[in-house]
Protein backbone atom coordinates (compact mmCIF):
# COMPACT_ATOMS: atom_id res chain seq x y z
CA UNK A 1 0.00 0.00 0.00
CA UNK A 2 1.11 3.55 -0.70
CA UNK A 3 -0.06 6.52 1.34
CA UNK A 4 0.18 10.01 -0.13
CA UNK A 5 1.40 11.89 2.90
CA UNK A 6 2.46 15.26 4.28
CA UNK A 7 3.87 15.54 7.82
CA UNK A 8 1.87 18.66 8.69
CA UNK A 9 -1.55 17.32 7.66
CA UNK A 10 -3.77 16.42 10.63
CA UNK A 11 -5.85 14.18 8.39
CA UNK A 12 -2.73 12.25 7.37
CA UNK A 13 -1.76 12.07 11.03
CA UNK A 14 -5.11 10.48 11.82
CA UNK A 15 -4.36 7.70 9.33
CA UNK A 16 -0.84 7.23 10.67
CA UNK A 17 -2.13 6.91 14.24
CA UNK A 18 -4.57 4.21 13.12
CA UNK A 19 -1.80 2.46 11.19
CA UNK A 20 0.31 2.33 14.34
CA UNK A 21 -2.59 1.27 16.54
CA UNK A 22 -3.39 -1.60 14.18
CA UNK A 23 0.21 -2.67 13.57
CA UNK A 24 0.09 -1.95 9.84
CA UNK A 25 2.83 0.67 9.48
CA UNK A 26 5.28 -1.78 7.92
CA UNK A 27 2.81 -2.51 5.14
CA UNK A 28 2.40 1.14 4.14
CA UNK A 29 4.85 2.95 1.88
CA UNK A 30 4.91 6.69 2.60
CA UNK A 31 4.94 8.94 -0.48
CA UNK A 32 5.32 12.65 0.22
CA UNK A 33 2.88 14.92 -1.60
CA UNK A 34 2.77 18.70 -1.23
CA UNK A 35 -0.98 18.92 -1.75
CA UNK A 36 -2.20 22.45 -2.39
CA UNK A 37 -5.67 23.89 -3.03
CA UNK A 38 -4.06 26.19 -5.62
CA UNK A 39 -2.27 23.60 -7.76
CA UNK A 40 -3.61 20.23 -8.84
CA UNK A 41 -0.93 17.55 -8.75
CA UNK A 42 -1.62 14.81 -11.34
CA UNK A 43 0.02 12.23 -9.06
CA UNK A 44 -2.59 13.03 -6.41
CA UNK A 45 -5.64 13.67 -8.57
CA UNK A 46 -5.10 10.32 -10.25
CA UNK A 47 -5.98 8.78 -6.88
CA UNK A 48 -8.31 11.43 -5.49
CA UNK A 49 -9.99 13.73 -8.02
CA UNK A 50 -10.53 16.26 -5.21
CA UNK A 51 -6.77 16.71 -4.99
CA UNK A 52 -6.65 16.22 -1.23
CA UNK A 53 -4.55 14.08 1.06
CA UNK A 54 -4.49 11.49 2.44
CA UNK A 55 -5.09 9.06 -0.38
CA UNK A 56 -4.25 5.37 -0.11
CA UNK A 57 -3.32 3.25 -3.12
CA UNK A 58 -3.99 -0.42 -2.47
CA UNK A 59 -1.92 -3.23 -3.93
CA UNK A 60 -4.68 -4.06 -6.41
CA UNK A 61 -4.69 -0.49 -7.78
CA UNK A 62 -7.78 0.66 -5.88
CA UNK A 63 -7.54 4.17 -4.41
CA UNK A 64 -9.22 5.11 -1.14
CA UNK A 65 -9.94 8.57 0.30
CA UNK A 66 -10.60 10.43 2.62
CA UNK A 67 -9.13 9.87 6.10
CA UNK A 68 -12.35 8.43 7.56
CA UNK A 69 -12.56 5.80 4.82
CA UNK A 70 -8.86 4.96 4.97
CA UNK A 71 -8.95 4.59 8.75
CA UNK A 72 -11.93 2.25 8.64
CA UNK A 73 -10.27 0.21 5.88
CA UNK A 74 -7.10 -0.21 7.96
CA UNK A 75 -9.08 -1.22 11.04
CA UNK A 76 -11.01 -3.77 9.01
CA UNK A 77 -7.83 -5.09 7.38
CA UNK A 78 -6.26 -5.60 10.80
CA UNK A 79 -9.40 -7.13 12.29
CA UNK A 80 -9.55 -4.35 14.89
CA UNK A 81 -13.14 -4.04 16.11
CA UNK A 82 -12.39 -1.51 18.85
CA UNK A 83 -11.49 1.50 16.71
CA UNK A 84 -14.82 1.36 14.86
CA UNK A 85 -17.26 -0.15 17.37
CA UNK A 86 -20.42 -1.97 16.41
CA UNK A 87 -23.83 -1.63 18.00
CA UNK A 88 -24.85 1.38 20.08
CA UNK A 89 -21.24 2.39 20.80
CA UNK A 90 -20.64 3.02 17.09
CA UNK A 91 -22.68 6.21 16.85
CA UNK A 92 -20.95 8.22 19.59
CA UNK A 93 -17.58 7.22 18.12
CA UNK A 94 -18.56 8.33 14.62
CA UNK A 95 -20.16 11.52 15.92
CA UNK A 96 -16.96 12.44 17.75
CA UNK A 97 -15.04 11.68 14.56
CA UNK A 98 -17.32 14.09 12.70
CA UNK A 99 -16.76 16.71 15.40
CA UNK A 100 -12.99 16.38 15.12
CA UNK A 101 -13.05 16.41 11.31
CA UNK A 102 -15.29 19.49 11.32
CA UNK A 103 -13.04 21.29 13.78
CA UNK A 104 -10.09 20.48 11.53
CA UNK A 105 -11.93 21.67 8.41
CA UNK A 106 -12.45 25.02 10.11
CA UNK A 107 -8.87 25.24 11.40
CA UNK A 108 -7.26 24.25 8.08
CA UNK A 109 -9.59 26.57 6.16
CA UNK A 110 -8.70 29.43 8.48
CA UNK A 111 -5.02 28.78 7.92
CA UNK A 112 -5.49 28.85 4.16
CA UNK A 113 -7.30 32.17 4.55
CA UNK A 114 -4.55 33.72 6.64
CA UNK A 115 -1.51 32.27 4.86
CA UNK A 116 -2.45 31.65 1.22
CA UNK A 117 -5.03 34.31 0.41
CA UNK A 118 -3.58 37.75 -0.43
CA UNK A 119 -4.18 40.09 2.50
CA UNK A 120 -6.39 42.58 0.60
CA UNK A 121 -8.77 39.73 -0.29
CA UNK A 122 -9.15 38.29 3.21
CA UNK A 123 -12.63 38.32 4.72
CA UNK A 124 -12.59 38.93 8.49
CA UNK A 125 -16.21 37.88 8.98
CA UNK A 126 -15.51 34.51 7.38
CA UNK A 127 -12.43 34.02 9.57
CA UNK A 128 -14.45 34.88 12.67
CA UNK A 129 -17.03 32.31 11.62
CA UNK A 130 -14.38 29.59 11.37
CA UNK A 131 -12.98 30.55 14.74
CA UNK A 132 -16.50 30.32 16.20
CA UNK A 133 -16.75 26.75 14.88
CA UNK A 134 -13.44 25.91 16.55
CA UNK A 135 -14.55 27.41 19.86
CA UNK A 136 -17.87 25.59 19.67
CA UNK A 137 -16.15 22.30 19.01
CA UNK A 138 -13.75 22.83 21.90
CA UNK A 139 -16.63 23.54 24.26
CA UNK A 140 -18.32 20.29 23.26
CA UNK A 141 -15.06 18.40 23.86
CA UNK A 142 -14.87 19.94 27.34
CA UNK A 143 -18.45 18.89 28.07
CA UNK A 144 -17.80 15.38 26.75
CA UNK A 145 -14.77 15.06 29.00
CA UNK A 146 -16.91 16.08 31.99
CA UNK A 147 -19.67 13.58 31.21
CA UNK A 148 -17.36 10.63 30.50
CA UNK A 149 -18.11 10.45 26.77
CA UNK A 150 -14.40 11.15 26.45
CA UNK A 151 -12.38 9.23 29.04
CA UNK A 152 -8.93 7.64 29.45
CA UNK A 153 -10.53 4.19 29.48
CA UNK A 154 -11.98 4.68 25.98
CA UNK A 155 -10.17 4.38 22.66
CA UNK A 156 -11.80 4.63 19.24
CA UNK A 157 -11.70 6.60 15.99
CA UNK A 158 -13.59 9.53 17.47
CA UNK A 159 -10.96 10.05 20.15
CA UNK A 160 -8.11 9.68 17.66
CA UNK A 161 -9.69 12.37 15.51
CA UNK A 162 -10.18 14.71 18.45
CA UNK A 163 -6.61 14.11 19.55
CA UNK A 164 -5.31 14.99 16.09
CA UNK A 165 -7.51 18.09 16.03
CA UNK A 166 -6.24 19.36 19.37
CA UNK A 167 -2.67 18.56 18.33
CA UNK A 168 -3.16 20.61 15.17
CA UNK A 169 -4.35 23.57 17.24
CA UNK A 170 -1.18 23.30 19.31
CA UNK A 171 0.89 23.15 16.11
CA UNK A 172 -0.71 25.97 14.13
CA UNK A 173 -2.66 28.02 16.69
CA UNK A 174 -0.58 28.07 19.86
CA UNK A 175 -1.74 31.64 20.55
CA UNK A 176 -5.32 30.38 20.77
CA UNK A 177 -4.52 28.79 24.15
CA UNK A 178 -7.48 26.46 23.80
CA UNK A 179 -6.87 24.87 27.22
CA UNK A 180 -7.91 27.99 29.09
CA UNK A 181 -11.31 27.40 30.66
CA UNK A 182 -11.33 23.77 29.50
CA UNK A 183 -9.50 21.81 32.21
CA UNK A 184 -11.25 18.49 31.56
CA UNK A 185 -10.43 18.54 27.86
CA UNK A 186 -6.84 19.57 28.63
CA UNK A 187 -6.41 16.72 31.12
CA UNK A 188 -7.84 14.16 28.70
CA UNK A 189 -5.66 15.37 25.86
CA UNK A 190 -2.49 15.31 27.99
CA UNK A 191 -3.08 11.63 28.71
CA UNK A 192 -4.20 10.70 25.18
CA UNK A 193 -1.37 12.59 23.47
CA UNK A 194 1.12 10.51 25.45
CA UNK A 195 0.07 7.32 23.64
CA UNK A 196 3.00 5.98 21.56
CA UNK A 197 0.97 6.29 18.35
CA UNK A 198 0.30 9.97 19.04
CA UNK A 199 3.82 10.78 20.21
CA UNK A 200 5.31 9.22 17.06
CA UNK A 201 3.09 11.17 14.65
CA UNK A 202 3.23 14.73 15.98
CA UNK A 203 3.21 17.22 13.09
CA UNK A 204 6.40 18.87 11.89
CA UNK A 205 7.56 20.85 8.93
CA UNK A 206 9.21 18.70 6.26
CA UNK A 207 12.95 19.01 5.94
CA UNK A 208 14.09 18.78 2.31
Asked whether residue 34 is assigned to any structural domain, the reply reads yes
Residue 15 CA to residue 38 CA, distance in Å, equals: 24
Q: Given CA atoms 93, 161, 142, 153 in this order, what sign does their dihedral have?
A: positive
CATH number at residue 130: 1.20.1050.10
Residue 205 CA to residue 172 CA, distance in Å, equals: 11
Confidence of residue 139 (pLDDT cuts 50, 70, 90): very high
Asked whether residue 205 is assigned to any structural domain, the reply reads no
**Beta strands of 50-122 (E only): which ranges?**
55-57, 63-64
Closest CA to 73 of 60, 95, 88, 58: 58
**Domain end call among 14, 48, 78:** 78
Mind spelling out the 3-state secondary structure of 93-104? Answer: HHHHHHHHHHHH
Are residues 117 and 195 part of one domain?
Answer: yes
Confidence of residue 152 (pLDDT cuts 50, 70, 90): confident
CATH number at residue 48: 3.40.30.10
Domain that holds residue 166: 87-199
> What does the pLDDT look like over 66-97, one tens digit per residue?
999 999 999 999 999 999 999 999 999 999 99
Amino acid sequence: MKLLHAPTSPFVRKVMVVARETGLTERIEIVFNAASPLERDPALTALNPLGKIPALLLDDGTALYDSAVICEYLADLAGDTALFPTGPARWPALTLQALGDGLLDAAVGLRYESVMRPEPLRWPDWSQGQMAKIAGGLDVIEQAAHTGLIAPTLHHIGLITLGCALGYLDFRYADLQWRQGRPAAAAWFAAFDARPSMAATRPHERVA
